[in-house]
């Protein structure tokens, strides 16, 4: 575990902190599609993502989903930090976008380290900062952009995260993530294909314009 940890976080944290993480963190491996954090559950651990990608979703009262953002290697989840510090239930759902590996850190340790390690403190603040920025981007996208631009952005995000321009997904699943209907997704995907930005196959979309 130490090797993987050092690869992902060695440039950020000093050896001493890495050793503490190794000592009290627990390593988890999940498969794509697995649910990691459920809405309403109490969160007592902070995830540090080693590899893969996690999708963070919000859910409305009807049970409809809306994608908030993705977490990648080297990221942690600001919403989780929030829940842990505030001792409140989770406001979000976390689902593995790809097969992922991460380390869970107990809240007490994470609080202790904030005082003990400057690098950790920076990491936590930087995470808050980048998460907040991404949230604002997402809000802008939802509030001011048309669905076709939103869809394109979504496709580019997923292509980037998977490290491949090919996205395995049905139109229906995309519609759920973007909180719209499949008819619209199908129509807009067709339009994007006409514009030469993507190519469509069954169950797969290739992003050409990155």
Partner DNA sequence: TCATTAACACGGG
Partner DNA sequence: CCCGTGTTAATGA
Q: Which stretch binds DNA (CB under 7 A): 3-11, 47-55, 136-144, 168-176?
A: 168-176
How near is the Cβ of 202 to DNA at its closest, in Å?
A: 5
145 contacts: CB under 8 Å, gap ≥ 6 = 153
Asked if 156 touches DNA (CB under 7 A), the answer is: no
Q: What is the DSSP letter of 76?
A: B
- Phi, psi (rounded to 5 degrees) for 130: -70, -35
Q: Rule CB under 7 A: say whether 121 interacts with DNA.
A: no
Contact 74, 29 (CB under 8 A): no
Q: Does 159 bind DNA (CB under 7 A)?
A: no
Asked if 180 interacts with DNA (CB under 7 A), we say yes
H-run or E-run covering 16:
helix 15-24
Binding of DNA at residue 207 (CB under 7 A)?
no
Q: How far apart are CA 89 and CA 92, in angstroms?
A: 9
Q: Strands, E, within the chain: which ranges?
A: 26-30, 35-37, 45-51, 54-59, 65-71, 93-96, 100-106, 166-168, 198-201, 204-207
Q: Among 116-124, 132-140, 151-159, 171-179, which window interacts with DNA (CB under 7 A)?
A: 171-179
Q: How far is the CB of 162 from DNA (least distance, A)?
A: 16
**Nearer CB in complex with DNA: 77/192:** 192
Using the rule CB under 7 A, is 44 a contact of DNA? no
With respect to DNA, which residue has the nearer C-beta, 134 or 193?
Answer: 193
The residue to which tokens 């991460």 are assigned: 102
Question: For residues 54 and 205, which CB has a smaller minimum distance to DNA in the complex?
Answer: 205
Among residues 12, 66, 85, 184, the one that binds DNA under rule CB under 7 A = 184
Q: Alpha-carbon distance 165 to 172, whole Å?
A: 19
Site for DNA in 52-111 (CB under 7 A): none
């Amino acid at each position: 575990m130490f090797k993987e940890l050092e690869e992902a976080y060695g440039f950020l944290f000093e050896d001493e902190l890495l050793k503490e993480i190794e000592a009290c963190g627990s390593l988890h491996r999940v498969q794509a599609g697995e649910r990691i954090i459920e809405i309403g559950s109490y969160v007592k651990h902070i995830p540090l993502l080693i590899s893969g990608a996690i999708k963070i979703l919000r859910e409305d009262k009807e049970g409809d989903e809306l994608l908030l953002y993705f977490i990648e290697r080297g990221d942690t989840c600001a919403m989780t930090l929030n829940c842990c510090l505030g001792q409140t239930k989770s406001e979000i759902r976390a689902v593995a976008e790809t097969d992922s590996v991460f380390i869970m850190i107990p809240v007490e340790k994470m609080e202790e380290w904030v005082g003990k390690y400057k690098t950790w403190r920076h990491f936590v603040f930087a995470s808050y900062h980048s998460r907040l920025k991404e949230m604002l981007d997402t809000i802008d996208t939802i509030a001011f952009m048309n669905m076709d631009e939103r869809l394109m952005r979504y496709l580019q995000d997923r292509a980037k995260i998977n490290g491949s321009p090919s996205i395995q997904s049905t139109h229906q699943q995309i519609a759920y993530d973007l909180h719209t209907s499949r008819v619209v997704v199908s129509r807009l995907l067709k339009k994007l294909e006409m514009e030469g930005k993507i190519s469509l196959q069954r169950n797969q979309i290739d992003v050409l314009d990155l």
